[in-house]
Amino acid sequence: MRSGHLILLDEMSLAEDAVLERLNSVLEPGRTLTLAEKGSSAEGDDIDEIHAHENFRIFATMNPGGDFGKRELSPALRSRFTEIWVPQISAREDFELVLNLVLGPSLSKTLADPMLTYVDWYNAEICGEKNSFFLDFTLSLRDVLGWARFIVECTAKVQSTARDSLSKTYQLFLHGAALMHLDGLGLGTGLDSQEAQIAKSRAFEFLSSLVPENNLAEASVGFTSTPDPTSSYVSTTSDFGVLPFTIKTGTHPIPPKLDFSMTAPTTNLNLSRVVRAMQLSKPVLLEGSPGVGKTSLIQALAAASGHKLVRINLSEQTDIGDLMGSDLPVPSDSPSSSSEPKFSWCDGIFLKALKGGDWVLLDELNLASQTVLEGLNSTLDHRAQVYIPELSKTFDCPPTFRGKEERGAKRHAMAASVAS
């Protein structure tokens, strides 16, 4: 207000009513804020009143009231804003412009048209059918962006010869579609696995039809055809994974023997999906029935690849301060000091892991409150950072920091990248 900056109040509808009402005077034509908390000075000066700079502007965003955990704003508060409805991007031309920018000239020439063809087909044939179970799960621009970024990042990592570069490109095209939404198709919809499997089979078939026939056999490895678990498993001093995808080995000591079979067929398939998802810096959400091995899989993956894993069990009682930290009483440095309590900032377990670049496993993610989940948003999205108001500092997530969430199958779906 004093400096004349622009301020964005993201997810405004999640704030408490007391906070929103406190902003009323700032939103009115007078644009003032009275700091009654400061009181008057000893000299009898008036209570501090701030008048906004002429360039000061407020922007606010919110999801519709029907979205999970969201509510509508009061009519009085809405009347103080100029409201603009932002529609979802659905035109092929808009998708094409974004894809050309993200993929670049070379990849865009080969993949832009097949990607957009698949999006149009899926939204019309799978989600657009009358009484479709997937009516509310059409592919959006965010999905297509994730698909494109996966292809771009993996292409930069793979050193292919001119002979097999096209097959590798189509292989990433197929695996990117599986990563984008097919691995988690049906999760959170209440559908049984049979309905989801039918839709997956149709999607696999259509995607395969978009790949040139002479490249299909090599491109389909690990997609429709599962390689031998023993031959595809990779564990060296520099790389770990399941072909065709690997991750860099960390610096944490690797145990000489793991009490976990990485080459069992089902385990190897789940491991390959997790490693594939880790090609992007997005967090990974694993969903499945209790006891199927979600947590143990990630623990074994971290141990075998040389990364430190910090496991955090979430519940309804978990507070954002438990994860990020808070001011706590600490022993006095001097024995002769007064008995007055001394407080100091102590990092929470999540912030410690973030600073150390460790992996974090958020166990039973769906048991946490909406406040905690929204508090983690900045570390899980493109910002990859967290702001601690008590310290007035922002901490960036290092490249090695990874977030993995695990929840039971019979819980409400949360928005995240899914590897089931």
Quick one: pLDDT at residue 174? 93
Of 10-19, 103-112, 184-193, 234-243, minimum mean pLDDT range: 184-193
Q: State the fold for domain 92-219.
A: Histone Acetyltransferase; Chain A (1.20.920)
Residues 227-249: tens digit of each pLDDT: 677 778 888 888 999 888 889 99
pLDDT of residue 225: 59
Per-domain residue ranges of the chain? 6-78, 92-219, 261-329+343-408
Q: 137: exposed, middle or buried (C-beta count within 10 Å: 0-12, 13-18, 19+)?
A: buried
- What pLDDT digit, counting tens, does each position of 209-222 carry? 999 988 888 888 77
> pTM for the full model?
0.81
Cα–Cα dist 372/306, whole Å: 29
Range with the largest mean pLDDT of 31-35, 42-46, 47-51, 160-164? 31-35
Q: Across 260-349, where does the E strand assignment appear?
A: 284-288, 309-313, 325-330, 342-347
Asked if the peptide bond before residue 244 counts as cis, ω within 30 degrees of 0, the response is yes
Segment 252-281 mean pLDDT:
89
- Class of 261-329+343-408 per CATH? alpha beta
395 token code pair: 């901490």
pLDDT tens digits along 64-91? 876 666 778 888 889 999 999 998 888 8
Chain segment 333-383, per-residue pLDDT in tens: 666 555 667 888 899 999 999 999 999 999 999 899 888 988 898 888 888
Which residues are 62's β-sheet partners? none
Indicate if the pLDDT at residue 160 is higher than 60: no
Q: How far apart are CA 7 and CA 409, in angstroms?
A: 39
Rounded Cα gap, residues 35 and 15, in angstroms: 20
* Residue 313 φ/ψ, nearest 5 degrees: -85, 120
- What is the residue-wise DSSP string for 317-339? T--HHHHHEEEEEE--S-TTS-S
* Residue 13 DSSP label: G
